[in-house]
Amino acid sequence: MLPRILITASLTPADSKRPSLSVSVNYTDSVLRAGGLPMVVAPMESPQHIREALSQAGGLLVIGGADIAAGRYGAESSPLSTPLHPRREVFDEAILAEALAMGLPVLGICLGCQTLNVHYGGGLYQDLPAERPDSTVPHRLKAVSQSPRHSVQIEPATLLSRILGVEPLDVNTSHHQAVRDVGKGLIASAHAPDGVIEAIEDPSRPFVLGIQWHPESLAGEPRHEAIFTAFVEAAARK
The structure's pTM equals 0.96
What is the rounded distance in angstroms from the CA atom of residue 134 to the CA atom of residue 122? 23
Nearest to 118 by CA among 230, 4, 210: 210
**Marked catalytic residue, from 110, 139, 150, 233:** 110
28 to 6, 24, 86, 95, 220: CA distances (angstroms): 10, 7, 24, 18, 15
Q: Which residues, including other chains, have CB under 8 Å from residue 86's CB and lie 6 or more apart? A: none
Judged by DSSP in three states, 138 sits in: coil
DSSP H or E stretch at residue 107 = strand 106-109
pLDDT at 144 over 60: no
Does 216 participate in catalysis according to the annotation?
yes
Q: How would you classify residue 131: left for phi > 0, otherwise alpha for psi between -120 and 50, otherwise beta?
A: alpha
**pLDDT band at 30; cut points 50, 70, 90:** very high
What is the rounded distance in angstroms from the CA atom of residue 213 to the CA atom of residue 151? 11
Does 113 participate in catalysis according to the annotation?
no
Residue-wise pLDDT for 81-107, tens only, equals: 999 999 999 999 999 999 999 999 999
pLDDT at 83: 93
pLDDT at 146 over 80: no
Does 110 participate in catalysis according to the annotation?
yes
143 vs 202, which has greater pLDDT? 202
Buried b / exposed e over 49-71, threshold 16 CB at 10 Å, is: ebeebbeebbbbbbbbbbbbebe
**Marked catalytic residue, from 89, 198, 201, 216:** 216
**Domains along the chain with CATH numbers:** 4-236 (3.40.50.880)
Nearest to 216 by CA among 203, 196, 202, 232: 232
pLDDT at 148 over 60: no
Q: C-alpha dihedral over 168, 112, 77, 150, to 10 degrees?
A: 20
What average pLDDT is seen over the chain?
95
